[in-house]
């Protein structure tokens, strides 16, 4: 622990002496505002800090070190060239309140990115402001709420399929809507009868993920959109799975009115151990006036921040957006181009189908033989076969022993003991073969080997119940060292 | 295709194994009418070298801090970042991993999160911190929503005008669809007046949100506002500048129930406003209402100390529409940067940083106001920012001239505060030297010869 290393008087960073004329502190700051001592932070030398965190880093699996087929998270390789570009001082050291005239290069980049995202989605109006996918969902739902307020309509409901990401209903709630769940058919698609039964004039938005969380493209999408539109509702597309359809199909062409991107997934922003992401949203022209302000505008050869949007929902955060992530997305799109982006999706889908074809013989995939960029297998049969309580979790844990990050498990909720695999396009056939062979081997292992896995990691099966019941959420000096 | 893995032979073998004849066949599930039958209208692919040249050209059309001297603040600051921060954060094992859903292979991230949480508790004087939110503004929003939930009051949220205008705008955006009302208390003197807070707070008030130091850089009577809030059964939410806590009393020691902060100052580059770091900490009793990821300590099946994501029943992937927030992806990398920054600074380094900011800001205020054209808009103590009033009221012109001379001299306040049309906000960090400050003062005073000394 960082705190165990602390020794009074040690320090890493050194600062220059003050070069302005000396004034007594009391004259600058009233005594009652001042703390007697600085905060009780640990005191460390620079090598302590570096060794500590470098050693910690080696305890992680990451895309740079391992195959990371975490379904729904699109853990593709993060090109180093994009890191270099985003770290150029001319982009990195820009203050959010600099004058537009001192930002023309960045604003051009962001303006172009708005245009690319609009073109790729088929939804031309773009806000780059939201900070993550869930934040984009929420911003778009606020846009919908503002749109209906403007129309003078009172709509209170948001529909989400039962296979949706948890963020969909949570975002709907935060935007002030009640959520209504739509059933899926056994084949994994939206149940149209259930949708018809639940659609009424109170419905503001249907949130749908397509390809959906089972990795399936719902062919009914145009019909679904028509049904929603007939009742005056809007269709929101959760863009989490855009990696499957870049340059192949566009949400705006299949009926979506609004969507978000996850540039940290689709356009390879590194995931940073949990973030940052970004969550730009794209909408139809009729919803454009309600987008968060500012957006980047262009007047002849000048780029500017357009705050003059009187019907805008306002801001959903401080400053412009997660620009660092957006710069990487821009670089990604520029290095792939139209053919390259299409090839990204083609190979993502090829890789997923190939892996599916290898895995389905020993790990059933209930929703069929084909998929888009990911598939969801079920480990349910191993329950009985091996006497396991949580077979998908056990498989996941055992894969760690073999040097693979685990797939997403127990999501979506509509598949029993779900194992959700998303290989992405940045893996080779050789890696996919090795993974499939390992997964096959693991499904043949004894129940007790699986139930106690992983065996080779530093820790195994942390007690999560204890963590939640006897909460220890920070280090304290009294703690016994171990 | 230069950046893809599958060779034509791989593709053939894979298609055969799948049992299809072409990749196109895999996409037949998408109805033909819904497919795009033309190439995307975006520019053709660039090689890495071409990309570098292109982006460098764009970058040269910006004036970053370091090229221009940056006196801009308003929630984003040009603070010094020790090299250790970049060294740690650029490790692929940190920046190319994701949310630690598999704790056995994420102990590095989880322990770093736990240490970050601890450091934030030490810094703020509160009991519990989450593992990060998006930024200071959205953290302020989440704190307000949390206060509404904790107090079960859906009436009012009281926020003085001295809180960052963009925080207030974000709160207004969120509350537009909910029941609660945002009550803004004017601060014509640059800080709150207790009697006005007292008058605004009632038994339907969920919280009072105060920024310390406030948006104008001035110190607020935090403890006294807290007493007013608490007497009415409302919470005190404090938005703080983490660097100021090297000198100022900790908000947790002054009665704050929830503390939020823009954590950018702790080792994150400016990058035009994001990604930054939303800091959020609270008292122990509210932990189950805290939004976002939290790392907790536990033991594994062999009894070894380790860390996991905990209290997940608060979160969207479990509770869906009943979750405390919709947040999923957070700002893990910047929480890590903040942890490394605080570890590298330690108490002495943070104290010195805060003291340098304080001293240099006061020196800058004095130097700028030596010209009788300028005065400070607000009296009373301030930390590293202050509001300058231009007696000639030509703020835009003035800032444009300064820009020509190589200074990002300040943030004009007119767009947010019509009554401060003739004012701009100046921030001075530890990075600004006396010669830079003197040059800025000379430049503002209209003696261009002084401007050149900055590069001497």
Q: pLDDT (tens digit, 9 = 90+) per residue, B259-276?
A: 999 999 999 999 999 999
Q: Which of A336, A366, A394 is the last residue of a domain?
A: A336
Is the peptide bond prior to A412 cis by the omega test (within 30 degrees of 0)? yes
Size of chain B in residues: 456
Q: What is the pLDDT of residue B456?
A: 36
pLDDT of B454 above 50? no
Which chain B residue's Cα is nearest to A272? B95
Task: Identify whether the C-beta of residue A98 lies closer than 8 Å to the C-beta of residue B408.
Answer: yes
Q: Which of A306, A336, A366 is the last residue of a domain?
A: A336
DSSP code string of B102-123? SGGGBHHHHHHHHHHHHHHHHH
CB atoms within 10 A of CB A302: 12
Q: What is the mean pLDDT of residues A45-67?
A: 98
pLDDT of B455 above 70? no
B129 to chain A, closest Cα gap in Å: 8
The three-state secondary structure class of B304 is coil
Residue A416 shares a structural domain with residue A270: no
Answer yes or no: is the ipTM higher than 0.90: yes
Residues 19 through 78 of chain B touching chain A, CB cutoff 8 Å: 19-20, 23, 26-27, 29-31, 33-36, 39-48, 51-52, 54-68, 70, 72, 74-76, 78
Residue A222 shares a structural domain with residue A101: yes
Out of A367-371, A424-428, B102-106, least confident range: A367-371
Q: What is the pLDDT of residue B321?
A: 86
Q: Is A195 within the bounds of a domain?
A: yes
Residue A192 shares a structural domain with residue A256: yes
Chain B residues with beta carbon closer than 8 angstroms to that of A64: 92-93, 96
Q: What is the pLDDT of residue A479?
A: 55
Greater pLDDT, A93 or B450? A93
Residue A265 shares a structural domain with residue A349: no
CB pairs under 8 A between A and B: 696
Average pLDDT taken over every residue of chain A: 96
pLDDT of A285 above 90? yes
Q: What is the mean pLDDT of residues B88-109?
A: 97
Q: What is the mean pLDDT of residues A237-252?
A: 97
Q: How many Å apart are CA A214 and CA A377, to the nearest integer? A: 9
When pLDDT is cut at 50, 70 and 90, the band that residue B447 belongs to is: low
Domain that holds residue A416: 342-457
Chain A residues with beta carbon closer than 8 angstroms to that of B173: 142, 292, 313-316
Q: Is A257 within the bounds of a domain?
A: yes
pLDDT digits (tens, 9 = 90+) for A86-97: 999 999 999 999
Q: How many Å apart are CA A74 and CA A345, to the nearest integer? A: 12
**B59, A40: Cβ pair inside 8 Å?**
no
Q: What is the pLDDT of residue A149?
A: 97
Domain count, chain A: 2
Q: What is the mean pLDDT of residues B15-36?
A: 97
Residue A191 shares a structural domain with residue A230: yes
Residue A328 shares a structural domain with residue A410: no
> Which residues, listed in sequence order, are joined to residue B404 by a DSSP beta bridge?
none
Q: What is the pLDDT of residue B2?
A: 58
In this structure, what CATH number is given to the domain that contains residue A379? 3.90.1150.10
Q: Is A10 on the interface with B (CB under 8 A)?
A: yes
Q: What is the pLDDT of residue A440?
A: 97
Q: What is the mean pLDDT of residues A181-185?
A: 95
Q: Which of A311, A336, A361 is the last residue of a domain?
A: A336
Q: What is the pLDDT of residue B329?
A: 87
**A313, B176: Cβ pair inside 8 Å?**
yes
In chain A, what is the straight-line distance between the N-terminal and C-terminal CA atoms, in Å?
10
Residue A453 shares a structural domain with residue A413: yes
Task: Identify whether the C-beta of residue A163 lies closer than 8 Å to the C-beta of residue A412.
Answer: yes
pLDDT of A423 above 90? yes
Which domains, from first to last, does chain B contain?
69-80+346-455 (3.90.1150.10), 83-340 (3.40.640.10)
Q: How many Å apart are CA A137 and CA B320, to the nearest integer? A: 14
pLDDT of B1 above 70? no
Q: Is A183 within the bounds of a domain?
A: yes
When pLDDT is cut at 50, 70 and 90, the band that residue B448 belongs to is: low
pLDDT of B155 above 90? no
**B300, A460: Cβ pair inside 8 Å?**
yes
CA angle B316, B319, B324 (to 5 degrees): 60
Q: Is A442 within the bounds of a domain?
A: yes
Q: How many Å apart are CA B161 and CA B144, to the nearest integer? A: 16
Which chain B residue's Cα is nearest to A222? B34
Q: What is the pLDDT of residue A482?
A: 46
Residue A241 shares a structural domain with residue A367: no
When pLDDT is cut at 50, 70 and 90, the band that residue B313 belongs to is: confident
Q: What is the pLDDT of residue A481?
A: 46
Q: Is A1 within the bounds of a domain?
A: no
Share of chain A above pLDDT 70, in %: 99
When pLDDT is cut at 50, 70 and 90, the band that residue A124 belongs to is: very high
Q: Which residue has the tokens 């290898």?
A: A358
In this structure, what CATH number is given to the domain that contains residue A213? 3.40.640.10
Q: Is A44 within the bounds of a domain?
A: no
Share of chain A above pLDDT 90, in %: 97
pLDDT digits (tens, 9 = 90+) for B360-396: 999 999 999 999 999 999 999 999 999 999 999 999 9
Q: What is the pLDDT of residue A228?
A: 98
CB atoms within 10 A of CB A54: 15
pLDDT of B156 above 80? yes
pLDDT of A24 above 90? yes
Residue A329 shares a structural domain with residue A387: no
| Partner residue opposite B248 with nearest CB, options A33, A66, A75 | A33
pLDDT of B299 above 70? yes
Chain B residues with beta carbon closer than 8 angstroms to that of A245: 30
Q: What region does A321 belong to: left with phi over 0, alpha with psi -120 to 50, or beta?
A: left
Q: What ranges in B186-297 are assigned the alpha helix state H?
A: 194-200, 222-231
pLDDT digits (tens, 9 = 90+) for B195-237: 999 999 999 999 999 999 999 999 999 999 999 999 999 999 9
Which chain A residue's Cα is nearest to B106? A60
Residue A325 shares a structural domain with residue A363: no
């Amino acid at each position: 622990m960082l705190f165990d290393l602390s020794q009074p008087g040690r320090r890493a960073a050194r600062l220059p002496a003050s070069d302005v004329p000396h004034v007594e502190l009391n004259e600058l700051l009233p005594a009652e505002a001042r703390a007697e001592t600085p905060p009780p932070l640990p005191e460390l030398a620079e090598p302590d800090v570096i060794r500590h965190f470098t050693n910690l880093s080696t305890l992680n699996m990451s895309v740079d070190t391992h195959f990371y087929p975490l379904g729904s998270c699109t853990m593709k390789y993060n090109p180093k060239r994009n890191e270099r570009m985003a770290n150029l001082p001319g982009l990195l050291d820009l203050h959010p309140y600099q004058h537009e005239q001192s930002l023309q290069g960045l604003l051009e980049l962001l303006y172009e990115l708005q245009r690319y995202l609009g073109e790729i989605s088929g939804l031309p109006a773009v806000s780059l402001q939201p900070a993550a996918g869930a934040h984009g969902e929420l911003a778009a739902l606020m846009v919908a709420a503002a749109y209906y307020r403007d129309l003078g309509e009172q709509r209170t409901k948001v529909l989400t399929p039962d296979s949706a990401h948890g963020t969909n209903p949570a975002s709907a709630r935060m935007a002030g809507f009640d959520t209504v769940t739509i059933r899926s058919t056994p084949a994994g698609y939206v149940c149209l009868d259930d949708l018809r039964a639940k659609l009424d004039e109170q419905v503001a938005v249907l949130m749908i993920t397509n390809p959906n969380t089972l990795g399936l493209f719902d062919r009914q999408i145009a019909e679904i959109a028509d049904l929603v539109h007939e009742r005056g509702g809007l269709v929101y597309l959760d863009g989490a799975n855009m990696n499957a359809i870049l340059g192949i199909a566009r949400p705006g062409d299949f009926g979506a009115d609004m969507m978000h991107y996850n540039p940290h997934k689709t356009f390879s922003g590194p995931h940073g151990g949990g973030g940052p992401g970004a969550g730009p949203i794209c909408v139809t022209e009729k919803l454009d006036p309600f987008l968060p302000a500012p957006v980047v505008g262009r007047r002849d050869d000048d780029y500017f921040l357009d705050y003059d949007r009187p019907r805008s929902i306002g801001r959903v955060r401080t400053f412009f957006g997660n620009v660092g992530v957006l710069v990487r997305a821009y670089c990604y799109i520029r290095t792939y181009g139209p053919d390259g982006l299409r090839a990204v999706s083609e190979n993502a889908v090829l890789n997923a189908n190939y892996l599916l074809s290898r895995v389905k013989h020993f790990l059933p995939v209930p929703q069929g033989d084909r998929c888009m960029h990911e598939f969801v297998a079920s480990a349910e049969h191993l329950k009985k076969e091996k006497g396991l309580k949580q077979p998908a979790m056990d498989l996941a844990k055992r894969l760690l022993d073999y040097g693979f990050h685990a797939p997403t498990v127990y999501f979506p909720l509509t598949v029993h003991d779900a194992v959700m695999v998303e290989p992405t396009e940045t893996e080779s056939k050789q890696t996919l073969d090795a993974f499939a062979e390992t997964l096959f081997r693991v499904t043949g292992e004894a129940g007790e080997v699986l139930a106690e896995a992983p065996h080779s990691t530093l820790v195994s099966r942390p007690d999560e119940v204890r963590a939640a019941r006897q909460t220890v959420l920070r280090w304290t000096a009294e703690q016994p060292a171990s | 295709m230069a950046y893809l893995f599958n060779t034509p032979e791989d593709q053939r073998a894979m298609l055969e194994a799948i049992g299809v004849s072409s990749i196109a066949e895999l996409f037949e599930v998408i109805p033909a009418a819904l497919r795009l039958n033309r190439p995307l209208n975006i520019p053709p692919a660039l090689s890495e070298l071409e990309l570098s040249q292109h982006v460098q050209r764009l970058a040269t059309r910006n004036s970053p801090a370091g090229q221009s001297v940056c006196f801009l603040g308003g929630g984003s600051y040009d603070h010094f970042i020790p090299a250790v921060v970049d060294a740690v954060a650029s490790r692929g094992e940190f920046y190319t991993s994701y949310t630690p859903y598999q704790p056995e292979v994420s102990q590095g991230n989880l322990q770093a999160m736990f240490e970050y949480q601890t450091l934030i508790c030490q810094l703020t004087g509160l009991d519990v911190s989450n593992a990060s939110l998006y930024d200071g503004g959205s953290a302020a929003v989440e704190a307000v929503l949390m206060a509404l939930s904790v107090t079960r009051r859906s009436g009012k949220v009281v926020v003085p005008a001295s809180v960052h205008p963009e925080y207030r705008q974000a709160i207004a955006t969120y509350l537009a669809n909910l029941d609660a009302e945002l009550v803004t208390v004017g601060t014509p003197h640059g800080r709150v007046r207790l009697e006005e807070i007292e008058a605004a707070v009632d038994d339907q008030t969920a919280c009072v949100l105060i920024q310390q130091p406030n948006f104008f850089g001035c110190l607020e009577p935090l403890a006294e506002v807290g007493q007013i809030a608490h007497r009415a059964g409302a919470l005190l939410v404090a938005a703080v500048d983490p660097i100021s806590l090297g000198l100022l009393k900790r908000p947790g020691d002054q009665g704050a129930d929830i503390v939020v902060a823009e954590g950018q100052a702790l080792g994150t580059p400016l990058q035009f406003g994001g990604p930054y770091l939303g800091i959020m900490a609270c008292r122990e009793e509210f932990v189950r209402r805290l939004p976002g990821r939290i790392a907790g300590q536990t033991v594994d099946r062999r009894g070894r100390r380790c860390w996991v994501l905990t209290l997940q029943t608060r979160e969207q992937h479990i509770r869906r529409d009943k979750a405390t927030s919709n947040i999923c992806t957070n700002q893990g990398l910047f929480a890590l940067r903040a942890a490394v920054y605080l570890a590298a600074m330690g108490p002495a380094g943070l104290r010195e940083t805060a003291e340098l900011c304080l001293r240099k800001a006061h020196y800058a205020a004095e130097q700028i106001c030596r010209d009788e054209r300028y005065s400070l808009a607000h009296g009373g103590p301030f930390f590293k920012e202050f509001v300058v009033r231009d007696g000639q009221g030509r703020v835009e012109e003035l800032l444009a001239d300064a820009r020509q001379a190589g200074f990002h001299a300040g943030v004009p306040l007119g767009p947010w505060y019509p009554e401060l049309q003739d004012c701009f906000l100046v921030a001075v960090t530890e990075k600004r030297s006396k010669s830079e400050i003197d040059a800025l003062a000379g430049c503002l005073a209209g003696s261009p010869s002084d401007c050149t000394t900055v590069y001497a």
